[in-house]
Amino acid sequence: MRLLGIDYGDKKIGLAFGDTEANVAVPLDVVPNVGEETIRVFAKRAKSEDIDAIVVGVPLSTGEHHSSKQLDKARAFIKLLEAATPIPVIEEDESYTTGESIRLQREEGAQAEEDALAAMLILQSYMDRIDPTTSEPEFTVAE
């Protein structure tokens, strides 16, 4: 299954690609968040690249770095994306991905941008918890 990972942000959005057969996620790039035009671009890109599901990071653990306001923004983004594409959109907890992406840059010398690394970590987290023998994505419904 081919997956597009998204680390949503108010100003910029990190992207990653994943393949469940290889169980690997890789960072792609970071794009500016320009509202509904961004949604249209993602929907078109997902279709043209034969993406089977889109995994979007949501801040389920609120605290120092995340707020319930950011969770609401991420879920609003998900609803717009779901309306723009027939491809399933799945929520995945993004807790600690920013800190981990910074660590990957500092300690491991990762060259990708922080938000793309966060999207990769979100996607890898999702792939690590699904059953690789099934081809169906595991859905987490937004509340």
Which domains are present in the chain? 2-129 (3.30.420.140)
CA atoms of 76 and 112, how far apart (whole Å): 27
| Percent above pLDDT 90 for the chain | 55
Task: Give the 3-state secondary structure of residue 58.
Answer: strand
What are the residues whose beta carbons fall under 8 Å from the beta carbon of 10, sequence distance 6 or more? 33, 73
Instruction: Kindly report, residue by residue over 94-122, the tens digit of the pLDDT.
Output: 876 666 556 555 565 555 677 888 898 89
Side by side, which strands form the sheet with 24-32? 24-32, 12-19, 2-7, 53-58, 89-93
Mean pLDDT, residues 12-19 taken together: 94
Report the Cα 90 to chain-centroid distance in Å: 9
In this prediction, residue 97 carries a pLDDT of: 60
CA atoms of 74 and 26, how far apart (whole Å): 22
Residue burial 37-47, b: 16+ Cβ < 10 Å; e: rest: ebbeebbebbe
- The helix, strand and coil proportions of the chain, stated in percent and rounded to the nearest 5, come to 40, 25, 35
pTM for this structure?
Answer: 0.82
Q: Decide if pLDDT at 40 tops 50.
A: yes
Average pLDDT over all residues of the chain: 82
Maximum C-alpha span of the chain = 40
Q: Where are the alpha helices (DSSP H) in 29-111?
A: 36-48, 68-84, 97-108
